[in-house]
Amino acid sequence: MKSTKTAGLPLHDHTQGTFVDRSLPAEDIMYDAMLNRDSNYEGIFIVAVKTTGIFCRVKCPARKPKRENVEFYPDVKQAMLNGYRPCKRCRPLEQVGNPPEEIFKLLEILGKMEVPRLSDAEVRKQGIDPAWVRRWFKQNHGITFQGWLRAMRVSLAYDLIKQGSSVTASAFDAGYESFSGFASAWGNHIKSTPRSSNKTNVIRITRISTPLGPMLAGATDAGICLLDFVDRRALNSQLSQVRKALRAELLYADHEHFSQLRKELADYFRGESTEFNVSLDVHGTDFQKSVWNVLREIPFGQTRSYREQAERIGKSGAVRAVANANGANRVSIIIPCHRVIGSDGSLTGYGGGLERKRYLLDHEQAVVSMKEPAP
């Protein structure tokens, strides 16, 4: 029995933001972030080098220029309007984490296949170096190209078995030539055996690019259970917690929920939408869920304090507990913990970094302003 789902291939994410006038960090802070290639500032500003006439993203691996030879802009549009051209090495016009043309070409080929399989020899026939492809996948997805393809096939077999196909038939329909090879590949991704897969929960994970840097997304059949920036220090802890909460294994593969999530994130960053409708599958204590529900009630473009949040759940004395629950949120942006600030109006802690929080708030307020009717 064939699966009705595709093997699941990530596409270009076209989530370029709606760039608006906004304040930048202090120039000394931006210069230090550039020197340290600090990914927390990805999308916050663009670096322009006077001596070369080139502009770069924060994490450009090229040699770092002297302070007096650098200018900073909020986005690529402003850099280009001031006469700078994009760096060919860090490709600042491309979305962070989006595949370059060579990778996209391979994804298009795979998208036409019922089973995702592409040998190094076949990659080479396309005029693309398999070693370069391997490095790109390892750098951008934490897994080699062939490892990614194996995970896709395991995911396909898992779906077939869940739909009622026999283990043996699922193995061959997923492109495996022997059951032993299938069992070995399965064991590398899922701890249980294929025959006990009906009792096994799986969280599909993938990376989604955004103007603020790549995010790691997780999905069950019920909905999105994880969305966080890949450079967040607590990400491994978040992964462990969601695995424990759902008693599930992690599998690098696509899911139909990711298609909707990619589109809604793209619409959000382009300023075309102010809400998310993708299904969620969040797990936590009753108190945490009450805090997360109230977070989703904060109107787009507005903020609340932790104290106001505590009052809304009827626990005015639980301000610190509310702050901790905010920090435990595993679905960033959609459950908008970035909209909570200090009682004095200051930006308080945010797992993705304060500059990202500032960007999100500025972005939302600008979108609201643009949508307001002229007086």
Could you say which of 87, 90, 225, 337 is catalytic?
337
Residue 225 known to be catalytic: no
Candidates 112, 109, 114; CA nearest to 4 is: 114
Hey, how many other C-beta atoms are within 10 angstroms of the C-beta on 71? 15
Catalytic residue among 56, 60, 90, 225: 56
Residue 213 gets the label, from left (phi > 0), alpha (psi -120 to 50) or beta, of left
CA proximity to 24, closest of 359, 360, 375: 359
Three-state secondary structure of the chain: CCCCCCCCCCCCCCCCCCCCCCCCCCHHHHHHHHHCCCHHHCCCCEEEECCCCEEECCCCCCCCCCHHHEEEECCHHHHHHCCCEECCCCCCCCCCCCCCHHHHHHHHHHHCCCCCCCCHHHHHHCCCCHHHHHHHHHHHHCCCHHHHHHHHHHHHHHHHHHCCCCHHHHHHHCCCCCHHHHHHHHHHHCCCCHHHHHHCEEEEEEEECCCCCCEEEEEECCEEEEEEECCCCCHHHHHHHHHHHHCEEEEECCCHHHHHHHHHHHHHHCCCCCCCCCCECCCCCHHHHHHHHHHCCCCCCCCEEHHHHHHHCCCCCCHHHHHHHHHCCCECCCCCHHHEECCCCCCCCCCCCHHHHHHHHHHHHHHHHHHCCCC
- Known catalytic membership, residue 87: no
Q: Which residues are catalytic?
A: 56, 337
